[in-house]
Structure 1
Amino acid sequence: MGRNSLQSFLVFLDELAYQCNITLQQSDILDFLNEEKYDLAVIDAFNPCALLVVEKLGLPFIAFFPGLFLNARRVRMTGPVSYVPVFGSELTDRMDFFGRLKNTFMYLGSGVVDSMMDERFQKVIEEHFPGDSRPSIDDLHLKAELWLYNIDFTIEFPRPLLPNVQYIGGLLAKPAKPVTADLEDFISASGDLGFIVVTLGSMLSSLPDLEFLKEMNDGFSKIPQKVIWRYEKKRWPKDVSVAHNVRLVDWLSQNDLLGYPKVRLLVTHGGMNSLQEAVYHGVPVVGIPLFGDQYENLVRIKAKNMGTFIPPGQMKAENFAKTLQEIIENSGYKTAAMKQSVIMRSRPFPPDQQLLGWVEHIIRSGGGGHLRPYSYQQPWYQQLLLDVILFIFSCVALIIYIIVKVIRFLIHLLCSRKKQKQN
């Protein structure tokens, strides 16, 4: 509740910077890694500290990013703001005038936000890198041999990509395995009505907000389907009775349950892996976004007509139950989900093959320099063609100046001749 603000994220980055400083102080571990003589590092580039660690080790690296292209500006992968929504805008690729206006202002402000993020690591850089070779977080993004994104265009909106950017979303989505015997019995009791899978991600195994929990529980009690809800039983409030159709489990195999024929819906926080598994199995979604990229992810699910989402502050039992029933009973959502499933499953190359193939390619070719555009080496004014614009403007201004001077001269000449005739 209320933790999705920029200020909260900056506080989170302060914590990552604090941990990064401790990490870079572990000289024995860094020395050990140096002695191993690795050819290549594969890092999770969401945490800027990973970039600083590989820079300290002097290793070439492949950067993996866990979700949407939210760092596209840093990778010089910015697309036209007329149809590529900026992260945080909660816009789709089909914007009206005011949507494009909002997107433009957010794009202009994104550089300021990135600078605020980088400031959190400035003291770490000053402490652990000598003054003549201090890197910047922004420049380190451009040193990656390759960028791999955990995203797929069944969810993300189409946009231009650079050769050194590949998407490998759906690594965890795969054909379902049989569920456990006790869950099989519970699902069988649902009959033709089927069941719902509920999980709010690995980071939130229980809900600390009692009223929020009650509204969700009451909402489930108003629908006829069975509900399998991942929730730590020991943390369930003793004064709240679990709804009659709900089965609490401490852990569940989400991919296997989503592949079960009787599944009707996934209720999720909107994490990227959960959504990709839902797409793979063609399961509609009702999202409850909590923080991070979850709002943006679910905007895309709604735009693809695979489901909808309810912000936490709007969670009320009646509306929740009504939304669940609408998504289950309206066949259009299931049809859209199955369409996206066909698209994902029919990709020419599975994501695991893409991942291995690209890593091997980078190693064999001695790096990804042939994939990186020359723009990485250009100063900003050349990338924006400001020098060209200035030259053209100067030429046009000079031509206009000459034309005006010639016209004034001709006018003066004609006036002089006219006076001579009169005299």
Structure 2
Amino acid sequence: MAAHRSWLLVSFLLLELLLLEAAKILTITTLGGSHYVAMSRVSQILHGSGHNVTNLLYESVYHPDFREEKPSYQVINCHLPEDQQKKIDNRLNLLLEELSNGGFNHPTFVKIYQHYGNLCSHLLTRKDIMEFLQNENFDLVLLDSLDFCSLLIAEKLGKRFVSFPPIQFSFMDLVLPSPLSYAPVFGSGLTDQMDFWGRVKNCLMYFYFSMQQREMVSQYDSTIQEHFAEGSRPVLSDLLLKAELWFVNSDFALDFASPLFPNTVYVGGLLDKPVQPIPQDLENFITQFGDSGFVLVALGSVVSKHQTKEVIKEMNSAFAHLPQGVLWTCKSSLWPKDVRLAPNVKIMDWLPQTDLLAHPSIRLFVTHGGMNSVNEAIQHGVPMVGIPFFGDQLENMVRIEAKKIGVSVQIQTLKAETFALTMKEVIEDKRYKSAAMASKIIRQSHPLTPAQRFVGWIDHILQTGGAAHLKPHVFQQPWHEQYLLDVFLFLLGLMLGTLWLCLKVLGAVARYLSGERKVKQT
């Protein structure tokens, strides 16, 4: 019976592909690191499903660590003159280093958005690129909502767009139904199970984070004033609400359950790739440790580049206390000369992370807590020890701890002895592995794969001319109507007016009765 349903599903999808005309889709990437990886992957998926995909890529974000086979879809590179580009890249590296060492440092985030706002201004002045994009007459734009420049490009082109934010969805205020009693605000460090003081903190964090968001968005004000005519200048925060669909790079294997609008689709695991056999040299290294297995360590492209000598030294010392082998993504050129590599540790500039997470001998994943890495670990049921540095990494690890899949370690207090004990606890306590496997089952038990859901919804809005039927009216309501403040004020006024009238009537009755009593006494 199950096989029959699967065959019907496959037949339906094939028929739908035959009937659906290929669309022209523009994907935009002006941010680097995991943002580039995410947009590259979704571009491949859309192209593989039969659509004509063009990717607008800001060349400076094309990180060499992510270079693979030449993409089959069209790529348009935008870049600055070499001397100017070098200056900008150096500036960005300094900001990323500052961010890596400072955790969720809001002033640094503001400076980073200011940096990208200036780059966006340059991109919008490129008449050759903007005219080419305009002439292509795309059917749809797919963008990263954290990349504010891509929102302005879509607005300039006058095209419908869908959003695929690669980090925690709660980072942006999207007028989603997010009851503060159980939906934690980004940066609060809370779970969905809050006590009284937790709810107080969540409410205060909501207003604080809203102010932070406004400051970040304001870094594009000068770009908007320069490139949009007066009277037609968009409000950047309002552009977010124009998205036809929101694809969330997570699901309830990781995230807390909360209400969603119909145009919000969870596609956790979308970026996962088919597992390949690992290189023989890595297999030989793993085999040395027999049943003890191995630990995979990968702290992401940004963190790996900017981690300090002290952190490397403490981590290396901690790994030396483990019976497992340790495969560590760490550039040899950045390894401190006076730190001797532990005998059970192998460092490499690049490791096949997905393939190693799927290896039967893996016992633990030490991660920075980036969304892509966390999703891959959940996909393969691997428990984690997280060392979050900035951005959504802290929020991801809050969820990992709440789901009992792993433990978080603060970078400011990371010491070899306690770090080693934490790793041993997660490896030896079978409850972590059981929770990781439970999340894996949740992730993989959907009737459709993340890619099928993603492409299916894209095709849906292409066929129906948009997602107006999926958008609630709340997107058009002013904030005082959304929160029923006008209704509360009316009811409060009605109640106070009724109370005042009752008091007046009671006063009049009291005066009348008092007057009658006086008359009788006389």
1:400 aligns with 2:499: yes
**285-294 or 104-113, which deviates more:** 104-113
Which letter does structure 2 place at the counterpart of 1:29?
I
Match among 443, 457, 470 for residue 371 of structure 1? 470
Which letter does structure 2 place at the counterpart of 1:44?
D
Match among 228, 244, 255 for residue 129 of structure 1? 228
**Cα offset for 1:126?**
0.5
Instruction: Report the counterpart of residue 118 of structure 2 in structure 1.
Output: 18
Match among 134, 149, 154 for residue 248 of structure 2? 149
Match among 195, 198, 210 for residue 96 of structure 1? 195
Instruction: Report the counterpart of residue 57 of structure 1 in structure 2.
Output: 157
Match among 380, 398, 406 for residue 479 of structure 2? 380
**Cα offset for 1:237?**
2.2
RMSD: 1.3
Contact 1:197 1:266 in 2 (8 A): yes
Instruction: Report the counterpart of residue 519 of structure 2 in structure 1.
Output: 420
Q: 1:196-220: per-residue Cα shift (whole Å, max 9, x none)?
A: 0011113344454111111100000
Where does 1:226-305 land on structure 2 (aligned, <5 Å)?
A: 226-305=325-404
Q: 1:51-73: per-residue Cα shift (whole Å, max 9, x none)?
A: 01110111111111112122452
**Cα offset for 1:177?**
2.3
From the two aligned structures, give the one with the greater helix fraction.
2
Structure 2 CA distance for aligned equivalents of residues 145 and 266 of structure 1: 36
1:360 aligns with 2:493: no
**150-159 or 109-118, which deviates more:** 109-118
Instruction: Report the counterpart of residue 117 of structure 1 in structure 2.
Output: 216
Structure 2 CA distance for aligned equivalents of residues 206 and 22 of structure 1: 27
Which letter does structure 1 place at the counterpart of 2:234?
P
1:339 aligns with 2:462: no
Per the alignment, in what secondary structure is the counterpart of residue 255 of structure 2?
Answer: coil
Contact 1:68 1:156 in 2 (8 A): no
**Cα offset for 1:339?**
0.8
Where does 1:302-313 land on structure 2 (aligned, <5 Å)?
A: 302-313=401-412
Unaligned 5+ segments in structure 2 are 1-100
Per the alignment, in what secondary structure is the counterpart of residue 286 of structure 1?
Answer: strand
**Cα offset for 1:119?**
1.3
Contact 1:196 1:264 in 2 (8 A): yes
Which letter does structure 1 place at the counterpart of 2:122?
I
Structure 2 CA distance for aligned equivalents of residues 190 and 176 of structure 1: 22
**322-331 or 173-182, which deviates more:** 173-182
Instruction: Report the counterpart of residue 143 of structure 2 in structure 1.
Output: 43
Structure 2 CA distance for aligned equivalents of residues 77 and 115 of structure 1: 17
Contact 1:207 1:213 in 2 (8 A): no
**Cα offset for 1:241?**
1.4
**Cα offset for 1:311?**
1.2
1:221 aligns with 2:320: yes
Contact 2:162 2:244 in 1 (8 A): yes
Which letter does structure 1 place at the counterpart of 2:451?
D
Structure 1 CA distance for aligned equivalents of residues 354 and 472 of structure 2: 38
Contact 1:91 1:99 in 2 (8 A): yes
Structure 1 CA distance for aligned equivalents of residues 451 and 378 of structure 2: 17
**Cα offset for 1:278?**
0.8
1:187 aligns with 2:286: yes
**Cα offset for 1:415?**
1.2
**106-115 or 16-25, which deviates more:** 106-115
TM-score (norm. length: structure 2): 0.79
Contact 1:279 1:340 in 2 (8 A): yes
**Cα offset for 1:298?**
0.6
1:328 aligns with 2:427: yes
Match among 233, 238, 259 for residue 139 of structure 1? 238
Change (3 A) 1:271 1:208: closer
**12-21 or 198-207, which deviates more:** 198-207
Change (3 A) 1:206 1:403: closer
Structure 1 CA distance for aligned equivalents of residues 334 and 504 of structure 2: 85
**Cα offset for 1:233?**
1.9
Q: 1:167-219: per-residue Cα shift (whole Å, max 9, x none)?
A: 11111335532111111111111111010001111334445411111110000
**Cα offset for 1:5?**
1.0
Which letter does structure 2 place at the counterpart of 1:10?
V
User: Which structure exhibits the higher relative contact order, with contacts defined as CA atoms closer than 8 Å and separated by 6 or more residues?
Assistant: 1
Per the alignment, in what secondary structure is the counterpart of residue 297 of structure 2?
Answer: strand
Structure 2 CA distance for aligned equivalents of residues 239 and 72 of structure 1: 43
Structure 2 CA distance for aligned equivalents of residues 379 and 41 of structure 1: 27
Structure 1 CA distance for aligned equivalents of residues 448 and 237 of structure 2: 32
Instruction: Report the counterpart of residue 132 of structure 2 in structure 1.
Output: 32
Change (3 A) 1:121 1:207: closer
Per the alignment, in what secondary structure is the counterpart of residue 409 of structure 1?
Answer: helix
Per the alignment, in what secondary structure is the counterpart of residue 120 of structure 1?
Answer: helix
Q: 1:9-55: per-residue Cα shift (whole Å, max 9, x none)?
A: 11111111111111111111000000011111001111111101110
TM-score (norm. length: structure 1): 0.97
**Cα offset for 1:262?**
0.7
Structure 2 CA distance for aligned equivalents of residues 175 and 48 of structure 1: 32
Instruction: Report the counterpart of residue 167 of structure 2 in structure 1.
Output: 67
Structure 1 CA distance for aligned equivalents of residues 248 and 212 of structure 2: 21
Which letter does structure 1 place at the counterpart of 2:117?
A
**410-419 or 29-38, which deviates more:** 410-419
Contact 2:385 2:423 in 1 (8 A): yes
Structure 1 CA distance for aligned equivalents of residues 183 and 103 of structure 2: 26
Change (3 A) 1:144 1:88: same
Match among 282, 295, 299 for residue 196 of structure 1? 295
The percent identity for this pair of structures is 45
**Cα offset for 1:114?**
1.9
Which letter does structure 2 place at the counterpart of 1:260?
H
Structure 2 CA distance for aligned equivalents of residues 313 and 71 of structure 1: 23
Per the alignment, in what secondary structure is the counterpart of residue 127 of structure 1?
Answer: helix
Change (3 A) 1:108 1:78: farther
Contact 1:174 1:280 in 2 (8 A): no
